[in-house]
Amino acid sequence: MMLWRCFKMAVQSVMSNKLRSMLTMLGIIIGITAVIALVSLMSGLTTEVTSAFEEVGIESIMINIQDRASTIELPVEDVEKLAEENPDVIAGQSPTVAMPAFIKDGTDNVSSSATGVNEQYFDLVDYEIAYGRGITYIDVERRQKVCVVGTYIAQEIFGGDALGKTLQITGTPYEVVGILEERDDSTKGSNDDCVYLPYTVAAHTTRSDKITSYVVYAASQETVDRAKSLVENMCGKAIGDDDYYTITAMKSIADTLMDILDRMEAMLIAIAAISLVVAGIGIMNIMLVSVTERTREIGIRKSLGAKQRNILAQFVMEAGMLSCIGGIIGIIIGSLLAVGAGKLLNMSVLPTPTAIIVSFTVSAAIGVFFGFMPAKKAAALNPIDALRYD
Amino acid sequence: MPPLVELKNVYKIYKMGDTSVHALDGISLTIEKGEFVAIVGQSGSGKSTCMNIIGCLDVATKGVYKLNGRAITNYTQDELAEVRNKMLGFIFQQYNLIPKLTVIENVQLPLLYAGMRESEQRRRALASLERVGLRSKAGNYPSQLSGGQQQRVSIARALAGDPSVILADEPTGALDSRTGREVMMFLQQLNREGNTIILITHDNSIAAKAKRIVRITDGRIVYDGPVEGDVTVMKMHGAGEEAPEDEKAKGAT
Q: What is the pLDDT of residues A9-31, one digit of tens each?
A: 888 888 888 898 999 999 999 99
The one-letter amino acid at A241: D
Question: Which one, of B150, B158, B208, B154, lies nearest residue B181 by Cα?
Answer: B208
Is the pLDDT assigned to residue A6 strictly greater than 50?
A: yes
Chain B residues with CB-CB distance to A13 below 8 A: 100
* Distance in angstroms (rounded) separating the CA atoms of residues A145 and A177: 10
At residue B150's C-alpha, the angle toward residues B144 and B153, to 5°, is 115
- Domains plus CATH for chain B? 33-57+76-252 (3.40.50.300)
Least confident of A111-115, A349-353, B19-23, B221-225: A111-115
The answer to whether the CB atoms of A304 and B77 lie below 8 A apart is no
Q: A-contacting residues of B 160-179, CB under 8 Å? A: 161
Chain B residues with CB-CB distance to A3 below 8 A: none
B90 class by beta-carbon count within 10 Å (0-12 exposed, 13-18 middle, 19+ buried): buried
Please give the model's pTM, rounded to 2 decimal places. 0.73
Is the pLDDT assigned to residue B80 strictly greater than 90?
A: yes
Note whether B57 contacts A: Cβ–Cβ < 8 A: yes
* Distance in angstroms (rounded) separating the CA atoms of residues A178 and A119: 13
Note whether B223 contacts A: Cβ–Cβ < 8 A: no
Which residue among B52, B77, B110 places its CB closest to the CB of A308? B77
Give me the sheet containing B5-16, strands edge to edge: B19-31, B5-16, B62-67, B70-71
How many A-B residue pairs are in contact by the CB < 8 A criterion?
Answer: 63
Give the pLDDT confidence score for residue B247 in this predicted structure: 44
Give the pLDDT confidence score for residue A329 in this predicted structure: 95
Which residue among A2, A304, A309 places its CB closest to the CB of B109? A304
Give the pLDDT confidence score for residue B242 in this predicted structure: 44
What pLDDT digit, counting tens, does each position of B109-147 carry? 999 999 888 899 999 999 999 999 999 999 999 999 998
Higher pLDDT: A128 or B228? It is A128
Nearest CA in chain B to A308: B78
Note whether B123 contacts A: Cβ–Cβ < 8 A: no
Which runs of E-coded beta strand occur in chain A?
60-65, 90-95, 97-105, 108-117, 129-132, 146-149, 166-169, 172-180, 195-198, 213-218, 245-249
Is the pLDDT assigned to residue B252 strictly greater than 50?
A: no
* Distance in angstroms (rounded) separating the CA atoms of residues B163 and B78: 18
Which residue among B82, B92, B96 places its CB closest to the CB of A305? B82
Give the pLDDT confidence score for residue B84 in this predicted structure: 93
User: Are the C-beta atoms of residues B80 and B71 closer than 8 Å to each other?
Assistant: no
Query: b or e along A73-89 (b: 16 or more beta carbons within 10 Å of the residue's beta carbon)?
Result: bbebebbbebbeebeeb
Give the pLDDT confidence score for residue B238 in this predicted structure: 46
User: Are the C-beta atoms of residues A181 and A130 closer than 8 Å to each other?
Assistant: yes
Average pLDDT over residues A374-385: 91
Is the pLDDT assigned to residue B249 strictly greater than 50?
A: no
What pLDDT digit, counting tens, does each position of B45-58 carry? 888 899 999 999 98
Which residue among B90, B118, B157 places its CB closest to the CB of A1? B118
Q: State the pLDDT confidence band at A165, using cuts at 50, 70 and 90.
A: confident
Q: How far is B92 from chain A (nearest CA, A)?
A: 10
Residue % of chain B over a pLDDT of 90: 55
Q: How far is A340 from chain B (nearest CA, A)?
A: 42
Residues 6+ apart with CB under 8 A from B38: B198, B199, B200, B201, B206, B207, B208, B209, B210, B212, B213, B214, B227
Average pLDDT over residues A151-180: 87
* Distance in angstroms (rounded) separating the CA atoms of residues A302 and B144: 25
Give the pLDDT confidence score for residue A68 in this predicted structure: 65
The answer to whether the CB atoms of A5 and B112 lie below 8 A apart is yes
The CA-based diameter of chain B, rounded to the nearest angstrom, is 56
> What mean pLDDT is reported for chain A?
88
Nearest CA in chain A to B56: A303
Is the pLDDT assigned to residue A343 strictly greater than 80?
A: yes
Question: Which one, of A192, A51, A48, lies nearest residue A128 by Cα?
Answer: A192
Q: State the pLDDT confidence band at A70, using cuts at 50, 70 and 90.
A: low
Phi/psi at B85 (nearest 5 deg)? -65, -40
B252 class by beta-carbon count within 10 Å (0-12 exposed, 13-18 middle, 19+ buried): exposed
Give the pLDDT confidence score for residue B234 in this predicted structure: 64
Give the pLDDT confidence score for residue A253 in this predicted structure: 87
What pLDDT digit, counting tens, does each position of A212-226 carry? 889 999 988 888 889
| Reported ipTM | 0.87
Q: Is A64 helix (H, G, I), strand (E, B) or coil?
A: strand
Q: How far is B110 from chain A (nearest CA, A)?
A: 5
Q: How far is B183 from chain A (nearest CA, A)?
A: 21
Which residue among A300, A302, A310 places its CB closest to the CB of B98? A300
A140 class by beta-carbon count within 10 Å (0-12 exposed, 13-18 middle, 19+ buried): buried
DSSP A181: P
Nearest CA in chain A to B160: A304
Which residue among B81, B112, B115 places its CB closest to the CB of A302? B81
Q: State the pLDDT confidence band at B153, using cuts at 50, 70 and 90.
A: very high
Q: State the pLDDT confidence band at B5, using cuts at 50, 70 and 90.
A: very high
Q: How far is CA B200 from the centre of its chain?
A: 6
Is the pLDDT assigned to residue A112 strictly greater than 90?
A: no
* Distance in angstroms (rounded) separating the CA atoms of residues B236 and B234: 6
Question: Which one, of A385, A371, A384, A378, lies nearest residue A298 by Cα?
Answer: A378
What pLDDT digit, counting tens, does each position of B216-246 carry? 999 999 999 888 877 676 665 544 444 444 4
Is the pLDDT assigned to residue A182 strictly greater than 90?
A: no
Which runs of E-coded beta strand occur in A155-264?
166-169, 172-180, 195-198, 213-218, 245-249
Q: Is A191 helix (H, G, I), strand (E, B) or coil?
A: coil
Chain A residues with CB-CB distance to B90 below 8 A: 303-304
Question: Which one, of A364, A368, A365, A366, lies nearest residue A376 by Cα?
Answer: A368
